[in-house]
């Protein structure tokens, strides 16, 4: 049998994203993002976006609605988080190697990412890494998630937000920029703070993504502004081992790098992507999200789980901003691979190790 040689060169990484243009619209102007220069133009347009006037009721009746701040249901609690957005120099492959295919991942691999970071109360100091993904927010049904957000990405100079999926929120806490229809939480300028309140309603049980939805969210979400929300039933124990996994490309228009990287949590190549660990007998959950423009196909070797229809699967397609939880009781010890099964993605880095210890 003839061995298929790996393609350890930059060319191999380039091919994975060649010819891709991202599209975004800022302040009524469209941008086709083909390279870093286009991204700079989009950034400049986003910095020029003026703070929208509050909807004054001159539009649809819905624009005139006033909303209070939701409180926890009886027995529920406020789950308070302090989160900042900031820029960080982010190495996509710190080891410089793909430990599965056994080849080097050449420099340059670092770019200016924008990420969420967990802070202590009052934004006093960092309480977690400035990383992809941002902090995982956890609540139980009946609770409210109270998220104090600060835009500390002064160097970026653009309004940012936090927009949640899955939970319930009023338009003020949607965290979405809507041009002249923007409400309170949809435009947090550099240096500003805003407190979002989101409700863990019964239908919200599961794992969800949150991400930037400000004026330049197409770019800034892909620069790293995303994270995970987990809502559990009241009193339900969490899994023993729980992993949020975001599948996404980091492409030249976003990073300004020559190569295109296929990433899990901002990192490419086994050994850089999260190395996951569990023990036999443990309840294991992988919360998997699509965080770019493409469809991915999440696969874990040696395991299977039930999909939402109750069928056993070991590979599942995930579209943009879709989420899926793969959960099982560990019964198969060993070194396992998990990866996107789109071949061009797995070969450009969208893969990692999973160790199930006996």
Binding interface with Cu ion (CB under 5 A): 296, 340, 342, 345
In whole angstroms, the minimum distance from the beta carbon of 248 to Cu ion comes to 9
Nearer to Cu ion, 55 or 340 (CB): 340
**H helices of the chain, where?**
10-15, 36-48, 217-222, 252-255, 343-347
DSSP result, 29-95: EEEEE-SHHHHHHHHHHHHHPPPPPPP-SSS-GGGG-------PPTT--EEEEEEEEEEEEEES-TT
In whole angstroms, the minimum distance from the beta carbon of 339 to Cu ion comes to 8
In whole angstroms, the minimum distance from the beta carbon of 254 to Cu ion comes to 16
Q: Are strands 110-119 and 206-211 parallel, antiparallel or unpaired?
A: unpaired
Long-range CB contacts for residues 38-45, cutoff 8 Å, separation at least 24: 38/253, 39/219, 39/253, 39/254, 39/256, 42/216, 42/219, 43/156, 43/157, 43/158, 43/216, 43/219, 45/216
User: CA angle 261-131-255, nearest 5°?
Assistant: 35
What is the DSSP code (8-state) at residue 236?
P
In whole angstroms, the minimum distance from the beta carbon of 322 to Cu ion comes to 12
In whole angstroms, the minimum distance from the beta carbon of 345 to Cu ion comes to 3
In whole angstroms, the minimum distance from the beta carbon of 155 to Cu ion comes to 31
- 97 contact partners, CB below 8 Å, separation of at least 6: 103, 104, 105, 269, 271
Taking CA atoms, 173 is separated from 106, 185, 194, in Å, by: 42, 5, 9
Nearer to Cu ion, 109 or 296 (CB): 296
Nearer to Cu ion, 202 or 319 (CB): 319
Nearer to Cu ion, 171 or 349 (CB): 349
Nearer to Cu ion, 243 or 298 (CB): 298
Query: 218, 170 in Cβ contact below 8 A?
Result: no
Measured between alpha carbons, how far is 267 from 245 in angstroms, rounded to an integer?
11
> Which sign, positive or negative, has the C-alpha torsion 160, 161, 163, 169?
negative
In whole angstroms, the minimum distance from the beta carbon of 260 to Cu ion comes to 12
Nearer to Cu ion, 156 or 342 (CB): 342
In whole angstroms, the minimum distance from the beta carbon of 318 to Cu ion comes to 8
Nearer to Cu ion, 267 or 296 (CB): 296
Nearer to Cu ion, 90 or 298 (CB): 298
- Alpha carbon 248 to its chain centroid, in Å, reads 9
């Amino acid at each position: 049998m003839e061995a298929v040689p790996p393609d350890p060169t930059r060319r191999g990484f380039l091919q994975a994203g060649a010819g891709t243009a991202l599209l975004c619209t800022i302040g009524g102007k469209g941008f086709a993002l083909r390279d870093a220069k286009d991204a700079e133009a989009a950034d400049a347009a986003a910095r020029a976006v003026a703070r929208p006037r509050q909807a004054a009721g001159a539009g649809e009746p819905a624009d005139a609605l006033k909303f209070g701040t939701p409180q926890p249901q009886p027995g529920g609690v406020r789950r308070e988080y302090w989160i900042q957005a900031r820029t960080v120099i982010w190495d996509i492959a710190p080891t410089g190697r793909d430990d599965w295919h056994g080849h080097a991942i050449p420099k340059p691999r670092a770019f200016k990412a924008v990420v969420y970071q967990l802070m202590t109360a009052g934004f006093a100091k960092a309480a977690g890494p400035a990383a992809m993904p941002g902090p995982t927010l956890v609540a139980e049904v009946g609770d409210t998630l109270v998220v104090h957000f600060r835009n500390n990405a002064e160097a970026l100079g653009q309004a940012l937000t936090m927009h949640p999926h899955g939970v319930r929120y009023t338009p003020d806490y949607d965290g979405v920029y809507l041009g002249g229809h923007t409400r309170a939480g949809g435009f947090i300028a550099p240096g500003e703070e805003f407190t979002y309140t989101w409700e863990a309603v019964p239908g919200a049980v599961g794992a969800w993504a949150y991400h930037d939805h400000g004026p330049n969210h197409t770019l800034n979400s892909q620069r790293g502004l995303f994270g995970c929300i987990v809502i559990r039933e009241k009193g339900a124990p969490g899994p023993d081992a729980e992993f949020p996994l975001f599948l996404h490309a980091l492409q030249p228009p976003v990073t300004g790098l020559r190569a295109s990287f296929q990433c899990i949590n901002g990192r490419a190549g086994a050994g850089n992507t999260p190395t996951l660990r569990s023990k036999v007998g443990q309840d294991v959950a992988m919360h998997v999200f699509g965080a770019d423009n493409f469809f991915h196909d999440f696969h874990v070797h040696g395991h299977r789980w039930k999909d939402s229809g109750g069928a056993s699967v070991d590979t599942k397609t995930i579209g943009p901003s879709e989420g899926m939880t793969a959960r099982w009781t560990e019964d198969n010890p060993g070194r396992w691979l998990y990866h996107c099964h789109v071949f061009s993605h797995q070969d450009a880095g969208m893969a990692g190790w999973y160790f199930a210890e006996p």
